[in-house]
Amino acid sequence: MTTQHPRTALHVTPGDPEIPTPAQPALRVVHETDGIDLAAAERAAGQFLQALGISTESESLRGTPGRMARAYAELFSPRPFNLTTFPNDEGYDELVLARSIPVRSVCEHHLLPFVGTAHVGYLPGRRILGLSKLARVVEHFACRPQVQERLTKQVADWLQTQLEPKGVGVVIEAEHSCMTLRGVQATGSSTLTSTLLGTLRNDARSRSEFLALAGLT
C-alpha cells in the first residue's frame, strides 16, 4: 500500500523566505440524500395518475409512471463536484462574474419546474475559484424542491462561507410554471431575486458595477 503525499504550492510573503506549504485540497461536494427508490416512485406515479382519472393502460402511457419517476429523480440529483480553488497570487481584486448560468429547479409548492438564468459574481480574497464551479454551485442548490428566494441566498451564503471573498453577488431571473401554466396563467412573466454580501452590499460603486455587468441596469 502506498501513501500519496499532497502536492505543495509555493507562497511568497513579502519579507519572508519562500516556504513551500501544502496546497489546499479541493472540497468534494456531494448532495446528501436518504436514497432514491425508483420502483416505489414508479408505483406512486401510477397511482397518482389513476387518482386523477388518467389510465396508463394504453401503449403510449404504459411507461409513463416509470418515466415520471426517472425524470424527477434526475431533477433532484445534482452531480457531485470538487470545489477547486487556487491562491490569488497576483492579488486580483476586481469583480469576477459568470453571467447567464442556466437554472432549472422545481417549485416546492406545486412540484412544477421553474427555469431561468443566474448571474454570480464575487470579489476575490486570498483565493480564486475555478470558473466552472460557479455553475456547479448553482446546480447543486437548484436540484431539489426550492423557492427562488431561498435558492438565491443559499448560493451566495455558501460561496461566502467556502471562499471567504470580499463580496458575493447572486441574481436569479426565472419563469415559474406554477404562475404561467396554472392559477393566474401569467404567461411571459418572470421573477427576479438577488442577494448581495460584503462589499457588493455595503459599497454603492461596487454594487452598481455588479448590477451593470450582470445587465440589470
C-alpha cell at position 164: 471567504
109 is catalytic: yes
Give catalytic status of residue 148 as yes or no: yes
Longest dimension (CA), the chain: 78
Annotated catalytic residue: which of 119, 146, 176, 209? 176
Kindly name the residue from 11, 24, 160, 178 that is annotated as catalytic.
Answer: 178
Q: 103 has which bridge partners?
A: 116
Annotated catalytic residue 143: no
Q: Where are the beta strands (DSSP E) in the chain?
A: 8-11, 19-22, 27-29, 81-83, 85-87, 96-107, 113-123, 127-129, 145-146, 167-176, 191-198
Catalytically annotated residue among 119, 148, 154, 173: 148
Catalytic residue among 47, 74, 108, 149: 108
Residue 42 designated active-site = no
Helices 148-163 and 132-142: crossing angle in degrees, nearest 10, is 130
Task: Tell me which of 47, 50, 109, 149 is the catalytic residue.
Answer: 109
Residue 175, amino acid: E
Q: Of these residues, 107, 139, 140, 146, which one is catalytic?
A: 107
110 is catalytic: yes
The CA distance from 148 to 154, in Å, is 10
Q: Which residues are catalytic?
A: 107-110, 148, 176, 178
